[in-house]
Chain A
Amino acid sequence: MSTLEIRDLHVEVETESGPKEILRGVDLTVNSNETHAIMGPNGSGKSTLAYSIAGHPKYTVTQGQVLLDGEDVLAMAVDERARAGLFLAMQYPVEVPGVSMSNFLRSAATATRGEAPKVRHWVKEVKGAMSDLDIDPAFAERSVNEGFSGGEKKRHEVLQMSLLKPKIAVLDETDSGLDVDALRVVSKGVNDYKQSSDVGVLLITHYTRILRYIAPDRVHVFVNGRVAASGGPELADELEENGYERFLGASSATKEEQPA
């Protein structure tokens, strides 16, 4: 049983005109075996939240806490966070030329598991996971994400999740840019891992589409750098119908209440 707690998280980025606050007090708790959807308009800070949890150096936490089972995540280096059981499926996976997918996966599995997986078992495991995600085995010898289509990158993010077996997985727009077939495959990959583990999932998305495949327990509306409303799956239906309009107003009202 694991818990990711985000408390009053404030994050800024460096811009040409000085630091700019993007996250303005995020509160959120995700437990094992729960799936939380975060929905919000473009630019509301969803990726900033995801990257801040993972420890991207571009983002500076100015206030608040992130705890994994009570441990201070913000004090950990990026690799320590991953080894502690956090995983981020990135919206824009990075190309690493010259590093083969198989070498990368093995290095990552060795690091997160604390020992090198036994070769024979590992090869089988990777093959199986790739085939579950409809990934051509030839990808194992290609450079990490290099020249992959958008859909292929997303499949490989889910592949990594299923091999690295995190306690908490943050999926940042893993659905965007996928056609219906790819969306099904990717969703099945996530659901399979949910079923075979106790993972807690933070599913960041722009559209309700993926929620038809991956059922959320909780839905959070993310506007202007914070959670503007939370509810059950029915909240997603409301968003589908009415959009974010109602929450945009609410958020600018709370903005004025904030101390400068």
Chain B
Amino acid sequence: MTRASEATGQGPDQPVAQVGGGIIDATDSPVLDVDPGINATSPKLAPWELRFTSYDVEAFEVPRGREEQWRFTPLRRLRGLHDGSATATGRIGVSVVSGFGDAASSDLGGVRHETVGRDDPRLGDGGIPADRVAAQAWSAAPEAHVVTVDEARSEDEPLTVTVTGPGEGQSVYAHVQLRLERHAEAVVVLDHRGSGTVAANTEFVVADGAKLTVVEVHDWADDAVYVGAQHLSVGRDATIRHTSVTLGGDLVRLSPVVNYRAPGGDVELDGLYFADGGQHFEQRLLVDHSVPNCRSRVTYKGALQGAEGGTAAHTVWVGDVLIRKAAEGTDTYELNRNLLLTDNARADSVPNLEIETGEIVGAGHASATGRFDDEQLFYLMARGIPEAQARRLVVRGFFGEVIQKVRVPALRDRLEAAIEAELEAVGV
């Protein structure tokens, strides 16, 4: 679709892709999740050692927009989630059913759905907040939803966890934890929808030998703002297949962090996002290879289409992969591609790979942002296929490798239909 050579964009006012990578210097240290106000006194530490985490919202300074972590985010549009001024006015809806769509049933089998207090000792097993909004959500969420799977469930019986926003004009802090105990297996659809303003922590705690396949869908209404931290905890020889799909919302900002707890972890993070004019979709990933012999693959693909004369569509993808000194035998690759369907769109893409040991299997990254490939269009049209259909084929093909990994057929159909609808909306 796009070539790496297109990665540098076409000029100051054109869509831009930035490519980082290699060893990061102190002046431009995107791996860093540091709040300079906190860590300014310890400049000799390697960037990730500075990565600050805390459950305490006051441990984080209020972001002003200059911080590496926040520099792409339009803070004005966070409705006070970042500075403590957003007070919870509504409730989050969290429902769990067995199956997906029409085939859903409230009989969960052995799966438990509990509503617990903030003092539940299991909370935090996935990870610890690394930014102020996540810490705010941690302390302000009145309760947490813990969904536990003890056994291996059939792939044909996905669990659907539906998270519904508090409604237009309402704000809420939320906390959801999905737990797979030892050797458990589950396919989960984590479906976010509705209206309102939401800050959330979502924990994926996958114990030794367990296997979680999860599709996290953000199909919010136009008014919605969602800022969420995803904490993925990977046990010994555990497997996670996490697919993140962002289709709707005024602003959606997701920060998945992968924490390997023991050797043998295998994680694939896939992503698909489709931003229209005025939407801001941001994804900041950190894969923290802290233990030996783990694997990670990151494949995120985005399409953008801002209508002519309107507000631009904006997406941000920051992919940080960290291979610490202890993480010998690491095997990692990350890729981000963005397809600009119209001129009025901006895709920022910043892959970063930080390597502390040479004893690895492999490490690489790629990023490319480009327009429709005219050669592809020409080829399809030269076979008689009308232009609009040719464009749809190319976009569908672009997302194909991510969509194919969605193992729930009814969800795959829904996502394909959503992409078609997006394309139709601007007449592509």
B401 at the interface (CB under 8 A from A): yes
Assuming the contacts A104-B393, A107-B393, A143-B397, asked whether A96 and B384 have C-beta atoms less than 8 A apart, the reply is no
Most buried by B among A57, A77, A96: A96
A110–B401 CA distance with the chains assembled, in angstroms = 25
Query: Which of A78, A98, A144, A164 has a CB less than 8 Å from the CB of B381?
Result: A78
A97–B299 CA distance with the chains assembled, in angstroms = 15
Chain B residues with Cβ below 8 Å from A160 are 383
Do B389 and A107 touch across chains, with their CB atoms under 8 A apart?
Answer: yes
Beta-carbon contacts under 8 Å, B358-404 to A: 373-376, 378-387, 389-390, 393-394, 396-401
Do A111 and B399 touch across chains, with their CB atoms under 8 A apart?
Answer: no
A131–B181 CA distance with the chains assembled, in angstroms = 51
B1 at the interface (CB under 8 A from A): yes
A82 at the interface (CB under 8 A from B): yes
Residue of A nearest to B396 (CB): A98
Chain A residues with Cβ below 8 Å from B393 are 96, 99, 103-104, 107
A111–B401 CA distance with the chains assembled, in angstroms = 26
Do A108 and B383 touch across chains, with their CB atoms under 8 A apart?
Answer: yes
A83 at the interface (CB under 8 A from B): yes
Chain A residues with Cβ below 8 Å from B373 are 94
Do B396 and A111 touch across chains, with their CB atoms under 8 A apart?
Answer: no
Q: How far is the CB of A23 from chain B (nearest CB, A)?
A: 18
A79–B398 CA distance with the chains assembled, in angstroms = 21
Query: Which of B374, B376, B385 has a CB less than 8 Å from the CB of A79?
Result: B385
Looking at chain B's contact residues, the main secondary structure is helix
Do B400 and A104 touch across chains, with their CB atoms under 8 A apart?
Answer: no
Assuming the contacts A57-B378, A103-B393, asked whether A98 and B400 have C-beta atoms less than 8 A apart, the reply is yes
Residue of B nearest to A144 (CB): B379
Q: How far is the CB of A154 from chain B (nearest CB, A)?
A: 14
Chain B residues with Cβ below 8 Å from A107 are 380, 383, 385, 389, 393
A183 at the interface (CB under 8 A from B): no
Do A111 and B387 touch across chains, with their CB atoms under 8 A apart?
Answer: no
* Beyond A56-B378, A96-B376, A143-B400, 20 extra complex contacts between A and B, CB < 8 Å: A57-B378, A79-B382, A79-B384, A79-B386, A81-B382, A83-B384, A94-B375, A94-B376, A96-B379, A96-B397, A97-B1, A98-B397, A98-B400, A98-B401, A104-B380, A107-B389, A111-B385, A111-B389, A112-B384, A164-B384
Residues of B within 8 A of A (CB): 1, 373-376, 378-387, 389-390, 393-394, 396-401
Q: List 23 A-B contacts (CB under 8 A).
A: A55-B382, A57-B378, A77-B387, A78-B382, A82-B384, A88-B382, A96-B379, A96-B397, A97-B401, A98-B1, A98-B399, A99-B380, A99-B393, A99-B394, A104-B380, A107-B383, A107-B385, A108-B380, A111-B383, A111-B384, A143-B397, A143-B400, A144-B379
